[in-house]
Amino acid sequence: MSEPFSARLRAATWTDHKAAEQTSFLDDLTRGRLTVAAHAALTAQHHLIYEVLEEAARAWHGHPVAGAFHHDGLTRLPALAADLEFLLGPDWRDALTPVPATAEYTRRLRETAFDSPGRYVAHHYNRYLGDLSGGQYVARALARAYALTLGGDGLRFYAFDLGDLDAFKNGYRTALDTAPWDEAARAEVIDEVRLAYRLNTDVLADLGRVYPNPFPPEVIAQIMRHMNDDHADDSLLICRAALPEPTRPQTSSAVMSDMDAAGIEFRAVVAGVDTPIRVPFAARLTERAQVRIEVTRLYREACEILGVPSR
Ligand code: HEM
């Protein structure tokens, strides 16, 4: 028996999927390296995209082939509006400005998703099956990273009222397998899914330029070098102050080992034992210039706690 079309489609587009999955913006966003503003910006781009995609879904309603793919429970626009209102307030529509790739994406949707059933299904599959798959991982990571509630305010876009999502996705794949497409029509679907992945990757790359990770590895390495070359004594004081009082005198050295937007990390030698110490910042830092100010504050606070004069 020949391979089902859904399996062939997935295999033929999986490298394109990897490129979308591995954009640094999505990685930074889901690891909590950005701010909730970046999550709101992605949500706004989604709103612009789903506005057109769901207009197409309504246009294909009742069509013998294309009409079989949409389901009321997939419709995302009301959830996106609710998320944006929660994240940005009543003027959220002001944030609906497309990045260049979103403008290209919606232009492509207007060009193909209203004329060609196969190309419409390609875009439909790309977004909704993605939302029902990786989107569910993304939602869990966003909830953790930005103190949101899974399925609640700010994350309703990722919550589907479709029962068992795996069963739903299997039904969707059966619809792909049984659509009466000849070889040329199937090749067209694969071609358009690859383009849809590229458009999504480009949207994420554009957002990455607007919301860069303020602390990429090379910046952390520079800060670490400076701390360890010029401020080893200050690091030691910060670590001592962060430790319980009895262990403070037993702490003999400390080197900075890492940092992120929420805190700085050291490896200190406490009673002869190499000990990891994380000291949280007073607030999340959003730019590099804030690191010096915050570390100086930690140093002064440590001097006060330890009763030593600060410079
Ligand atoms: C952190 C980001 C992402 C992760 C972790 C992720 C992960 C996954 C996983 C594990 C699957 C397989 C699920 C299954 O077989 O049931 C999947 C499927 C899928 N993803 Fe993603 N994904 C991500 C981003 C994206 C993006 C940006 C898109 C495009 C908009 C996308 C579109 C899809 C599609 C269309 C499928 C269905 C493939 C198929 O089974 O035919 N994903 N994803």
Percent of the chain at pLDDT above 70? 100
pLDDT of residue 115: 97
Which numbered atom of ligand 1 lies nearest the CA of 7? 41
> Is it the case that residue 1 has pLDDT exceeding 70?
no
Q: Render pLDDT for 93-113 as a digit per residue (tens, 0 to 9).
A: 999 999 999 999 999 999 999
272 φψ region: left (φ > 0), alpha (ψ -120 to 50), beta (else): left
Query: Whose alpha carbon is nearest atom 10 of ligand 1?
Result: 134
Q: pLDDT-based confidence at 2, cuts 50/70/90?
A: confident
Q: Is 215 exposed, middle or buried (0-12, 13-18, 19+ CB in 10 A)?
A: buried
Q: What is the pLDDT of residue 56?
A: 98
Q: How far is the CA of 232 from the centre of ligand 1 (A)?
A: 45
Number of neighbouring beta carbons within 10 Å of residue 201: 21
pLDDT at residue 151 in the model: 96
At residue 286, does pLDDT exceed 90? no
Indicate the DSSP class of residue 248: G
Which DSSP state fits 3? P
Which atom from ligand 1 is nearest to the alpha carbon of 126?
A: 35
With beta carbons less than 8 A apart as the criterion, state whether 53 and 104 touch: no
Nearest CA to ligand 1 atom 42: 130
Distance CA 135, CA 274 (A): 40
**Spatial separation of the C-alpha atoms in residues 172 and 60, rounded to whole Å:** 16
Alpha-carbon 76 to chain mean position: 18
Q: What is the mean pLDDT of the chain?
A: 97
Strand order across the 251-260 sheet = 251-260, 263-270, 273-280
Q: Which two tokens stand for residue 36?
A: 């909730």
Mean pLDDT over 68-86 rounds to 98
Q: What letters, b where the CB count within 10 A reaches 16 and e where it falls short, cover 257-296?
A: bbbbbeebebbbbbeeeebebebebeeebeeeeebeebbe
* Cα four-point dihedral sign 68, 72, 75, 77: positive
- Ligand 1 binding pocket includes 195 (Cβ within 6 Å): no
CB atoms closer than 10 angstroms to residue 81: 17
Is the CB of residue 126 below 6 angstroms from any atom belonging to ligand 1? yes
Q: What are phi and psi of 142, to 5 degrees?
A: -65, -40
Asked if residue 290 has pLDDT above 70, the reply is yes
3-class SS of residue 82: helix
Q: Which domains does the chain have, with CATH numbers?
A: 5-210 (1.20.910.10), 217-306 (3.20.180.10)
Cα angle at 97 between 92 and 100, to 5 degrees? 155
Is residue 134 in contact with ligand 1, taking CB distance under 6 Å? Answer: yes
Give the model confidence (pLDDT) of 187-220 as tens digits. 999 999 999 999 999 999 999 999 999 999 999 9
Q: Evaluate if pTM is beyond 0.85.
A: yes
Could you give the CA distance from residue 122 to residue 311 in angstroms, rounded to a whole number? 64
Check the CA dihedral 46-103-98-85 and report its sign: negative
pLDDT in tens, 4-58: 999 999 999 999 999 999 999 999 999 999 999 999 999 999 999 999 999 999 9
Cα of 126 to ligand 1 centre, how many Å?
A: 9
- pLDDT band, residue 158 (cuts 50/70/90): very high
β-bridge mates for residue 271, sequence order: none
